[in-house]
């Protein structure tokens, strides 16, 4: 039996990478997906691909660092499909840099997107899930939220915080309201995230990571495994990483 069929899933950061792969994977298995990101062109393209295969999907242009945007996304999902079963917080930014280079603006971008964006999404969906007394919140962690490597300092800090947020959600929301709070922590994934890195001092680190990177589809399958659990089963945290990744 699949619990994916007809499940309504909201996915942030869905215009590329893990978010896009997850949206397509779930839609192919019968879920109704609501995808969100800032790029309307990319969202429209993904929706077209999903619908051409018979999938059910809609989109909402969303900046997760804007609280009103996030609330509009949640409202849109409920208006389109009547409820929200699962929220997947995929929106995130990975900007590696060395402390020597004090990339303060980049630190702020990661804090705004990785932390505030996740928190705003949780705040917007919780009242709905509390009212229906069920739901899933899946936060995107990282192996960098379990181990800190060179150049990872601030990024790892945001992912350690996601771990704390998820654990706290689980303790407060699962017993009282039946809301499942889970985290999926990917290792090195082959997406375009490296293109955003401006610190030339971490090029060696990036080159080594590229050699072992795995495709986003593998993470999408792991996320689908979490989504596919019945309401009385909670998956706490899953790490999925390349076999040859050293850390």
- Could you tell me the two tokens for 159? 């992912």
Measure the CA–CA gap between 174 and 108, rounded to whole angstroms. Answer: 31
Given a contact cutoff of 8 angstroms between Cβ atoms, the answer to whether 22 and 218 are in contact is: no
56-61 and 179-186 strand pairing: unpaired
pLDDT value of position 193: 65
Residue tagged 């402390």 (tokens):
99
pLDDT at position 35: 98
Task: Say if 170 falls within a structural domain.
Answer: yes
The answer as to whether 246 is a domain residue is no
Nearest to 240 by CA among 143, 163, 161: 143
Domain at 34, CATH number = 3.40.50.720
Neighbours of 53 (CB within 10 A): 9
Instruction: Please indicate, yes or no, if residue 41 is contained in any of the structural domains.
Output: yes
Instruction: Give the whole-angstrom CA distance, residue 205 versus residue 214.
Output: 16
**pLDDT tens-place values along the chain, 247 residues long:** 689 999 999 999 999 999 999 999 999 999 999 999 999 999 999 999 999 999 999 999 999 999 999 999 999 999 999 999 999 999 999 999 999 999 999 999 999 999 999 999 999 999 999 999 999 999 999 999 999 988 889 999 999 999 999 999 999 999 899 999 999 999 988 876 667 788 787 777 777 777 788 899 999 999 999 999 999 999 999 999 988 887 7
pLDDT of residue 212: 82
Distance, CA of 64 to CA of 44 (rounded, Å): 18
14 in a domain, yes or no? yes
Residue 4 CA to residue 223 CA, distance in Å, equals 11
Cα separation, 156 vs 148, in Å, equals 6
Q: Is residue 3 part of a domain?
A: no
Among the options 59, 155, 160, 177, which is catalytic?
155
**Predicted local confidence at residue 140, as pLDDT:** 97
- Look at residue 2 and tell me if it is in a domain: no
pLDDT for the residue numbered 199: 76
Count of the separate structural domains present in the chain: 1
What would the two tokens of residue 46 be?
A: 């993904």
DSSP alpha helix (H) spans, 59-103: 67-81
pLDDT at 157: 97
Residues 164, 109: Cα–Cα separation, whole Å: 20
What is the domain range of residue 101? 8-240
Examine the residue annotation and report whether 155 is marked as an active-site residue of this protein: yes
């Amino acid at each position: 039996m699949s619990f994916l069929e007809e499940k309504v899933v909201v996915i942030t950061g869905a215009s590329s990478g893990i978010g896009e792969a997850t949206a397509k994977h779930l839609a192919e298995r019968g879920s109704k997906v609501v995808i969100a990101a800032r790029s309307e062109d990319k969202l429209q393209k993904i929706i077209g691909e999903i619908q051409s295969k018979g999938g059910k999907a809609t989109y909402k242009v969303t900046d997760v660092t804007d609280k009103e945007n996030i609330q509009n996304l949640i409202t849109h999902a409920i208006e389109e499909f009547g409820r929200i079963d699962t929220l997947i917080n995929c929106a995130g930014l990975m900007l590696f840099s060395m402390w020597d280079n004090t990339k303060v603006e980049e630190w702020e971008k990661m804090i705004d997107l990785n932390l505030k964006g996740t928190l705003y999404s949780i705040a917007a969906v919780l009242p709905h899930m509390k009212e229906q007394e069920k739901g899933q919140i899946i936060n995107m962690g990282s192996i960098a939220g379990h181990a800190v490597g060179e150049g990872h300092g601030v990024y790892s800090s945001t992912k350690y915080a996601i771990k704390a947020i998820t654990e706290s959600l689980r303790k407060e929301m699962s017993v009282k309201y039946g809301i499942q709070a889970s985290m999926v922590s990917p290792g090195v994934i082959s997406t375009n995230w490296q293109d955003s890195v401006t610190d030339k001092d971490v090029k060696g680190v990036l080159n080594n990571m590229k050699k072992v990177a795995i495709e986003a589809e593998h993470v999408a399958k792991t996320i689908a495994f979490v989504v596919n659990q019945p309401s009385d089963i909670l998956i706490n945290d899953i790490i999925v990483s390349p076999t040859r990744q050293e850390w």
